[in-house]
Structures are given as structure tokens and as C-alpha cells.
Structure 1
């Protein structure tokens, strides 16, 4: 089964879309099969039950992290995909989570 990765930001439009496209492009180059979607943070609790990997922009609140943990959703920071600092390390961790 193909896994699903969501990237969430405040509106689900600007930052999350930029990061989602960057991850999607890297997945295509590395031939990783994983669905990638940008969503708004307000809907993250509804998205988590159908998600395997969650990439956040702003630090998620405790309830979101607790729910992700309960659902075994892997959580990763998205800022490295904007700054480039630490991006390779986070990307490798995401790749491991897709397997």
C-alpha cells in the first residue's frame, strides 16, 4: 500500500504547498512511491487518521502530537525544506518512514 504524507501550514496554500512540491519532486527523483498533499493546520486532526507521515511548519500543539503518536503517524519538521539547513537528514528520515 502506498503511504501518504501531508504537509500542514496555517492556510494549506503557500508554505505547505512549496514544501509538499519539494518533497514530491525529491520522491520522484528517488523513485519513492508516496502520496504527498498540502493541507491547512485546522484540518490536521481530520487528516491524521488517513496519514502515515506528517510534516509540520509551525510546531504542532500537544493534542496533535498525542493524536499522531496514538495513530503511529511519523512527524517531521518542514522548515529544513525551506532553509536547506538539515534538509538531507530530515529527508532521509522521511524516506525511512515511507518503507
Structure 2
């Protein structure tokens, strides 16, 4: 099972919006049981060693792949985000 972390600057507002959209997508695709999801700050993500990838609304420099979650907030380019997340989970 992959471990994904949803991040933003404060770990509350924008990451929650992204999380809800990703949960809906993953449920539709039948992938919720294939991923463990955490939520937090970019700073916290940088200290974690148990993550396979992160989805972040803020810039992040971490040792794992980072998927830009801003399209989940703007509504433009969401398909690319969803496909990237799916590829990380199944890859």
C-alpha cells in the first residue's frame, strides 16, 4: 500500500480542499483501498521517511515525488493531477 501525504503551508485549508477532491476521485476509481492518506504541512512532509509521494498546494523540496495540487483548487488541469496520483499509486 502506498502512502500519500496531502500538504499545504499550514496543513489545514487548501490541503483539505485537495484531500476531498482526491478522495472522491480515488473512490470513483476504486483506489482508496490501495493508498494510505495523511494530511499536513510541507515542513512536516520534509521530515517524514514513510511517504511514497506527496500532493502539495505549496512548493515542496522533499526526497519523494511531488505532485502539484494547485489545479485541484483552480479547477484547471485536474485530470493531470488525478492521473499523476493514480500512476503513483499503481506504479
Give the TM-score of the pair, scaled to structure 1: 0.80
Q: Name the SS of the counterpart of 1:17 in structure 2.
A: helix
TM-align CA RMSD: 1.3
Gaps of 5+ in 2: none
Residue in 2 that maps onto 1:79: 70
Q: Is the Cα contact below 8 Å between 1:19 and 1:81 reproduced in 2? A: yes
**Given the alignment, which residue of 79, 85, 88 partners 1:97?**
88
2:10 is the alignment partner of 1:19:
no
Bigger Rg, which one: 1
- Displaced runs of 4+ in structure 1, greater than 4 A? none
Aligned match of 2:54: 54
Matched residues, number: 88
